[in-house]
């Protein structure tokens, strides 16, 4: 691989700093630069920015491109100082000194400390003004002096002042207008003179052709004839000057030569030759119709030339003296056109041959070849009218007889027709190619802006630009989006043989290489245009294209469209990633919402209460699934109903009042109602209403309906217990109190006294049992459970003891013990088991008021002892059986009922379950009941 540095050593590379490409002045100077560069086989990088400190808001950002030339990429710099300093000539001075140690040559403005190619501006305008005064007798001459403070403009102004002074004409400040160099500024100047100052004047000399044309246009609009009423002279000798009607007199400055001299001076500096730091170029007045003169090509026909030593045609066929040759070449000012050095003598010799052979072929074909070459190199054909005049001046003294002279005049005439035809052809071709170019540029722009994908944009560039004659192109993006990024990425490269399109990755290369070293075409010297890609204040990258003079107007458009296409692509990507991000966030939030909704629904649906959401008009909007259990109605069927429809008539008023109070006070409310189940039955319910407010306004409510039947029942049971317990306690107490009173107040026989004491003892035992039961239940309810200590217990023995105690008590029932003698043992608490059996036997007696047999039986089944107590008493309905083991449950709560508090079976169930067993009842009303419990046995030995 060849290192970039080595290559530069082989073929020098120069940088050119220029503010604009397709401007008449810059493009012509540039032509001189490029043709000289090619002649010397060197590369050129044209860094195209804007004028320094240009007042446009973002255009100044283009000037980062002037920071790029460094010794790594160029060997020297040619700076269009006059153009870059258009807005601020001081800043260009700083710029030119910034590149040390690189050799720098400046054009258009002389800068101290660097090398300069200087045009004699002062003499040019002096000649123009002097010409008007001395040749045309004009004294009141307006001077349009160009931008204030611009160095070249000031030099030209000095020429004006000197000419006035030398001719003894007074200076009139009213005749001086200062403005820019451009066409529109000229128009402004003309209006200022005609409408504001209303000054009298006979001529206008302007510091540039564009300025002169702008002024002349307005003068013509106002009816002034040029030059009859007002003569006009410009400066620069642009093509547009010659094309103006009338043709504009101007000061010729050697533009392309300026470029060529600049390159030559720079090369000698690069090589370290000891050349002077300054090259001076002359200017020359070009009189034309607008100053009141005829074109010198017309007037020059009459001029006599010194043609010593040439007396006849033979003299002209020999090698010609330099004076004659240089006379022939003088009209040619376009220095970039390269013709063979022998062309003047070739032309003269071919003329002599044509005269001698009496044929136009020799001369016309030679002249035709020359014209073709000039056209091919983009030279000025009109200059060749001057050449023909010069040839004629040289020839005429050598032509002796009338016939030869006539033959010669015919040849001159044919040559001039040939020039006219070629001018016309060139004009038509120019128009056609500029039209074609416009179409190509339009197509390119249209296609570029219709895609947002960088890859496609670059594909379009690489396909279209070659049609515009731009054969090589490179697009690099700054890695840090700033010109001083150390690295760039080459994302597009096209050459006649290669193409790279890689928007995503690209080739990473050091920014100072400008074109990634491996991709650059190295075969021939090439001139590149380095265009800054930027948008507003963003620095994006560089578009580097080879320089094609036919398409100069395309570069700025391509630069601008590429910048905005890349930026649009970035924005599009940003927008997409933003929208993807947004989408992901929305998805997350939605998922979170769904989760929390599901959680809320789970909580709501698992709530034991029906929960309804009421709207602002207090109608039901929705409800949880518990509604179905509590109200017998699915929540969707409730939607749209009024909550009043859910309560019984007697509760409607209370609920209606609560609802209206809720919307006014915004305070939660609780009330108890009788609610309706859809099946028709009513139940006790508590309703809790909580308002929903939004910005202080009532916007609905949450209505919670709780079934409180069980609570109410419990209350009722408790009420019943209180009366039952009071009654149950009072009966034995009354008995105890009665007998103790008797014992205390009377003398009784021993027998009776013993019996009374027996009564008292029985009743207090009964009382004790009652109190024990209440304590047990209290303990169960408090969650402390019953005290128990387990041991192997002979269950038969327990039953025997209980039965015996009741037998002794003499209840009047017959006791039958069945299958209880085989010593079956269980693991249990003997006292608690006694309590269970005693309870069941006591109930069997209590609830068989007409006596009968109480049968107690043990069965051993699956390692369990099943103990059943059967009576022949009142029995129980299935309804009673369903509630038997509930606390305080009693089938008969009347005063006439058998005594009891409804706790015995509750305690039995607790005890049996603690033994790992079950208890149940079987019964039929009027036929007696059987209560059975089963508990695990201890394994027999
Ligand atoms: P109490 O007997 O103190 O009322 P229990 O818990 O022992 O309390 O019994 C609860 C209810 O079960 C009794 O009120 C009674 O209605 C019914 N009951 C219990 N045992 C029998 C039985 N052997 N025959 C008929 N009904 C019974």
The string of pLDDT tens digits covering residues 257-311 is 999 999 999 999 999 988 888 999 999 999 999 999 987 766 666 666 666 667 7
- Is the pLDDT confidence value at 470 over 70? yes
Q: Which of 894, 905, 924, 926 best tests ligand 1's pocket when mutated (most atoms within 8 Å of CB)?
A: 905
Band of residue 180 on the pLDDT scale cut at 50, 70, 90:
confident
Identify the CA nearest to 76 among candidates 99, 103, 101: 103
pTM more than 0.85: no
Compute the distance between CA of residue 387 and CA of residue 365 in angstroms, rounded to an integer. Answer: 16
Compute the distance between CA of residue 576 and CA of residue 581 in angstroms, rounded to an integer. Answer: 8
Residue 938 is encoded by which pair of tokens?
Answer: 């201890």
Question: Is the CB–ligand 1 distance for residue 840 below 6 Å?
Answer: no
pLDDT at 149: 80
Question: Is the CB–ligand 1 distance for residue 836 below 6 Å?
Answer: no
pLDDT at 687: 95
pLDDT at 207: 95
Q: Half-sphere exposure (CA, 13 Å, Cβ side) for 794?
A: 8
Question: Is the CB–ligand 1 distance for residue 262 below 6 Å?
Answer: no
Question: Is the CB–ligand 1 distance for residue 254 below 6 Å?
Answer: no
Question: Is the CB–ligand 1 distance for residue 506 below 6 Å?
Answer: no
Q: What angle is formed at CA 167 by the lines to CA 165 and CA 171, rounded to 5 degrees?
A: 45
Q: Which of 721, 811, 839, 843 best tests ligand 1's pocket when mutated (most atoms within 8 Å of CB)?
A: 843
Identify the CA nearest to 400 among candidates 325, 310, 488: 310
706 CA distance to ligand 1 middle (Å): 32
Identify the CA nearest to 192 among candidates 137, 251, 145: 145
Are 328 and 344 within 8 A, CB to CB? yes
Compute the distance between CA of residue 457 and CA of residue 441 in angstroms, rounded to an integer. Answer: 14
- Is the pLDDT confidence value at 570 over 90? no
Are 81 and 96 within 8 A, CB to CB? yes
- Classify each residue of 754-775 as buried b or exposed e, where b means 16 or more C-beta atoms within 10 Å of its C-beta: eebeeebeebeebbebbeebbe
Question: Is the CB–ligand 1 distance for residue 509 below 6 Å?
Answer: no
Q: Edge-to-edge, what's the strand order for the sheet holding 864-870?
A: 814-818, 853-861, 864-870, 928-936, 918-924
Q: What is the pLDDT of residues 838-865, one digit of tens each?
A: 999 999 999 998 889 999 999 999 999 9
Band of residue 783 on the pLDDT scale cut at 50, 70, 90:
confident
Which residue owns the Cα nearest ligand 1 atom 21?
Answer: 843
Are 672 and 666 within 8 A, CB to CB? no
Are 740 and 722 within 8 A, CB to CB? no
Question: Is the CB–ligand 1 distance for residue 905 below 6 Å?
Answer: yes
- pLDDT, mean over the chain: 89
Identify the residue whose tokens are 């009330």: 671
891 CA distance to ligand 1 middle (Å): 7
Compute the distance between CA of residue 851 and CA of residue 811 in angstroms, rounded to an integer. Answer: 8
Average the pLDDT over 932-936 and give the result: 96
Question: Is the CB–ligand 1 distance for residue 69 below 6 Å?
Answer: no
Q: Which of 900, 908, 920, 927 best tests ligand 1's pocket when mutated (most atoms within 8 Å of CB)?
A: 900
pLDDT at 334: 72
Question: Is the CB–ligand 1 distance for residue 900 below 6 Å?
Answer: yes
Interhelix angle for 402-449 vs 343-357, to 10°?
A: 130
Q: What is the pLDDT of residues 619-634, one digit of tens each?
A: 999 999 999 999 998 8
Residue 677 φ/ψ, nearest 5 degrees: -90, 150
Question: Is the CB–ligand 1 distance for residue 902 below 6 Å?
Answer: yes
Question: Is the CB–ligand 1 distance for residue 876 below 6 Å?
Answer: yes
Question: Is the CB–ligand 1 distance for residue 871 below 6 Å?
Answer: yes
Fill in the DSSP letter of residue 468. Answer: G
């Amino acid at each position: 691989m060849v290192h970039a540095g080595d290559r530069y050593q082989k073929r020098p590379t120069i940088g050119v700093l220029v503010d604009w490409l397709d401007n008449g002045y810059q493009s012509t100077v540039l032509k001189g630069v490029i043709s000289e560069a090619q002649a010397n086989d060197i590369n050129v990088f044209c860094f195209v920015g804007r004028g320094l400190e240009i007042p446009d808001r973002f255009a100044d950002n283009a000037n980062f491109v002037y920071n790029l030339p460094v010794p790594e990429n160029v060997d020297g710099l040619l700076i269009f100082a006059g153009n870059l300093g258009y807005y601020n000539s001081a800043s260009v001075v700083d710029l030119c000194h910034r590149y040390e140690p690189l050799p720098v040559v400046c054009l258009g403005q002389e800068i101290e400390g660097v090398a300069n190619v200087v045009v004699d501006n002062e003499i040019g305008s002096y000649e123009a003004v002097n010409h008007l005064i001395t040749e045309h007798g004009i004294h009141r001459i307006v001077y349009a002096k160009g931008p204030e403070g611009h160095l070249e403009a000031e030099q030209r102004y000095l020429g004006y002042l000197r000419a006035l002074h030398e001719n003894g004409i007074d200076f009139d400040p009213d005749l001086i207008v200062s403005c820019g160099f451009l066409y529109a500024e000229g128009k402004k100047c003309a209006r200022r003179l005609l409408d504001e100052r209303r000054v009298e004047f006979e001529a206008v000399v302007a510091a540039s052709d564009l300025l002169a044309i702008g002024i002349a246009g307005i003068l013509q609009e106002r009816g002034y004839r040029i030059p009859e009423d007002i003569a006009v002279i410009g400066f620069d000798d642009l093509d547009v000057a010659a094309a103006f009607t009338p043709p504009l007199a101007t000061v010729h400055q050697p533009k392309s030569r300026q470029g060529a001299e600049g390159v030559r001076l720079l090369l000698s500096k690069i090589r370290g030759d000891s050349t002077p730091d300054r090259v001076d170029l002359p200017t020359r007045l070009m009189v034309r119709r607008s100053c009141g003169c005829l074109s010198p090509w017309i007037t020059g026909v009459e001029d006599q030339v010194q043609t010593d030593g040439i007396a006849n045609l033979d003299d002209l066929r020999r090698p010609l003296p330099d004076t004659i040759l240089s006379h022939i070449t003088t009209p040619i000012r376009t220095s970039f056109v390269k013709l063979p050095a022998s062309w003047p003598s070739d032309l003269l010799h071919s003329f002599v041959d044509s005269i001698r052979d009496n044929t136009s072929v020799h001369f016309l074909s030679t002249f035709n070849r020359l014209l073709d070459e000039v056209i091919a190199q983009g030279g000025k054909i009109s200059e060749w009218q001057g050449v023909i005049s010069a040839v004629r001046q040289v020839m005429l003294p050598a032509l002796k007889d009338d016939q030869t002279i006539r033959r010669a005049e015919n040849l001159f005439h044919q040559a001039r027709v040939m020039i006219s035809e070629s001018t016309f052809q060139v004009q038509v071709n120019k128009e056609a190619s500029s039209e074609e170019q416009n179409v190509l540029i339009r197509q390119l722009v249209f296609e570029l802006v219709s895609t947002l994908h960088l890859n496609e944009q670059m594909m379009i560039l690489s396909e279209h630009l070659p049609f515009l004659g731009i054969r090589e192109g490179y697009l690099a993006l700054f890695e840090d989006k700033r010109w001083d990024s150390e690295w760039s990425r080459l994302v597009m490269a096209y050459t006649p043989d290669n193409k790279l399109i890689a928007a995503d990755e690209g080739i990473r290369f050091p920014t100072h290489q400008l074109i990634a070293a491996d991709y650059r075409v190295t075969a021939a010297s090439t001139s590149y245009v380095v265009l800054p890609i930027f948008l507003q204040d963003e620095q994006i990258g560089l578009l580097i294209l080879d320089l094609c003079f036919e398409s100069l107007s395309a570069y700025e458009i391509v630069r601008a469209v590429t910048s905005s296409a890349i930026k649009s692509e970035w924005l599009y990507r940003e927008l997409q990633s933003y929208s993807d991000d947004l989408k992901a966030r929305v998805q997350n939030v939605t998922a979170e919402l769904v989760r929390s909704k599901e959680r809320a629904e789970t909580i709501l649906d698992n709530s034991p209460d029906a929960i309804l959401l009421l709207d602002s008009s207090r109608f039901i909007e929705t409800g949880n699934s518990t509604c179905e259990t509590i109200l017998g109605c699915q929540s969707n069927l409730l939607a749209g109903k009024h909550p009043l429809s859910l309560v019984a008539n007697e509760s409607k008023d209370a609920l209606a009042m609560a609802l209206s109070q809720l919307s006014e006070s915004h305070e939660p409310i609780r009330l108890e109602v009788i609610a309706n189940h859809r099946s028709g039955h009513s139940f006790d319910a508590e309703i809790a209403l909580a308002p929903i407010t939004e910005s202080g306004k009532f916007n609905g409510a949450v209505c919670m309906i709780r079934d409180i039947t069980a609570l109410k029942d419990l209350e009722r049971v408790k009420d019943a217990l209180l009366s039952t317990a009071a009654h149950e306690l009072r009966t034995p107490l009354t008995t105890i109190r009665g007998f103790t009173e008797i014992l205390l107040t009377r003398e009784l026989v021993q027998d009776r006294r013993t019996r009374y004491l027996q009564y008292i003892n029985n009743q207090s035992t009964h009382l004790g049992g009652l109190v024990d039961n209440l304590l047990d239940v209290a303990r169960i309810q408090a969650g402390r459970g019953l005290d128990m200590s387990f041991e192997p217990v002979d269950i038969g023995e327990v039953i025997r003891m209980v039965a015996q105690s009741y037998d002794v008590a003499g209840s009047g029932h017959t006791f039958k013990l069945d299958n209880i003698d085989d010593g079956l043992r269980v693991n249990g608490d003997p006292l608690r088991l006694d309590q269970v059996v005693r309870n069941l036997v006591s109930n069997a007696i209590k609830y068989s008021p007409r006596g009968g047999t109480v049968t107690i039986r043990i069965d051993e089944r699956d390692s369990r002892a099943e103990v059943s107590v059967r009576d022949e008493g009142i029995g129980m309905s299935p309804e009673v059986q369903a509630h038997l083991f509930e606390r305080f449950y009693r089938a008969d709560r009347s005063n006439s009922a058998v005594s009891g508090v409804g706790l015995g079976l509750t305690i039995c169930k607790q005890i049996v379950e603690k033994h790992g067993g079950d208890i149940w009842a079987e019964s039929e009303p009027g036929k007696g009941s059987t209560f059975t419990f089963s508990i695990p046995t201890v394994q027999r030995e």
